[in-house]
Structure 1
Amino acid sequence: MDAISEDEMMPGTPKRTMSRRTVIGAGLITAAAVGAGYRVASHQRFDGSELFVRDAFEAAQVGDVVLVDIRTPEEWRQTGVGQGAHPIDMRRSDFIAALDCLTGARKHAPIALICARGVRSARLARALVNAGYTNIVNVPEGMLGSRAGPGWIASGLPVTSYDG
């Protein structure tokens, strides 16, 4: 079958035919546009404070920030957790409760978020600000590096193994 008539797709419309190639091409263009839109939306930057990985490490060591690694347990097992970071999987249903446990439920406590490449941490940072947290910091380089920089591991910062 080489052609699909529009009345087969939408009854009651004037009959015109489109080649299968046109239909497939239009579908691919639409899918590409939607995909590009998602990529742009999913890589938006966090408008708040950001730290380079070395600064995040140093701030966590002296207690200036609570550094939270929001990746998954599988990711922690693969690469380890940045020394001084608290691993809390952002998908946990009790994520806020676990975060509040670390900070004494202080919404103004300085909290730095790190993930693999800065995408999830930026998204979660925006969500936490919208939830009333006032001192959220993103680490956009992440553990593995991003456009923002080489990342924790490539920067040679210490990691601790995760066995959980």
Structure 2
Amino acid sequence: MADKLNRTRRWVLLGGGAAIAVGFAIREYRLIPQDYAGGQISVAEAHELALSGDILLVDIRTPREWRATGIGDGAQPLDMRREDFEQALTRLTNGDRGAPVALICARGVRSARLSNRLTEAGFTHIIDVPEGMLGSAAGPGWVRAGLPVQYNTGEAG
């Protein structure tokens, strides 16, 4: 009986360990940005180009994230989870799918994935800001770079 109990405990521990390992693997996968063959710019460039009107800078994070860190000065908040995201983005570009649009998220993961998706959907000048608001391997990010933020969290589009 004790031997059977020990075997059961071993299987439970192995199963639990495997579940934890799978959980970490999924988490790490979600934190790795997809390759994006299109353009990329730094947060400083994104800020400068957005203020000059040379790009439309779109903060694709969630309203909760906008409230937590603010929205980069010159950026338009547009939650990427919206079902009508592409239509709202098309409205922001006045129907011009060739307009230069830079996407920023927290750490560059979602912006790279969405850049690929929008390019496949026919937007021809999507630019990724891989540093994001909070920094990544690409750089310190908007907040740590000390770039200005706004706390108007009303969504565009």
Higher relative contact order (CA 8 A, sep 6+): 2
Q: Which residue of 2 aligns with 1:53?
A: 43
User: Alignment identity in percent?
Assistant: 52
- The gaps in structure 2 that reach 5 residues or longer are none
* Matched position secondary structure for 2:57: strand
Question: RMSD of the TM alignment (CA)?
Answer: 2.3
State the TM-score, normalizing by the size of structure 1.
0.81
Give how far 1:55 is off: 0.6
Give how far 1:121 is off: 1.0
Return the index of the structure with the highest Cα Rg.
1
Give how far 1:3 is off: 3.8
**1: CA distance, partners of 2:62 / 2:84:** 14
- Kindly tell me the number of residue pairs found equivalent between the two proteins: 152
Q: How does 1:25-104 map to 2 (within 5 A)?
A: 25-29=14-18, 31-33=20-22, 35-36=24-25, 39-40=28-29, 42-47=31-36, 48-104=38-94
Q: Which residue of 2 aligns with 1:114?
A: 104
Q: Which residue of 2 aligns with 1:24?
A: 13
**1: CA distance, partners of 2:58 / 2:89:** 8
* Matched position secondary structure for 1:77: helix
Q: Which residue of 2 aligns with 1:124?
A: 114
- Any conservation in 1 of the 2:73–2:150 contact (CA below 8 Å)? yes
**1: CA distance, partners of 2:47 / 2:118:** 21
- Any conservation in 2 of the 1:80–1:161 contact (CA below 8 Å)? yes
**2: CA distance, partners of 1:122 / 1:107:** 18
- Any conservation in 1 of the 2:51–2:74 contact (CA below 8 Å)? yes
The alpha-carbon distance between structure 1 residues 24 and 108, as it changes in their structure 2 partners (threshold 3 A), is same
- The gaps in structure 1 that reach 5 residues or longer are 5-17
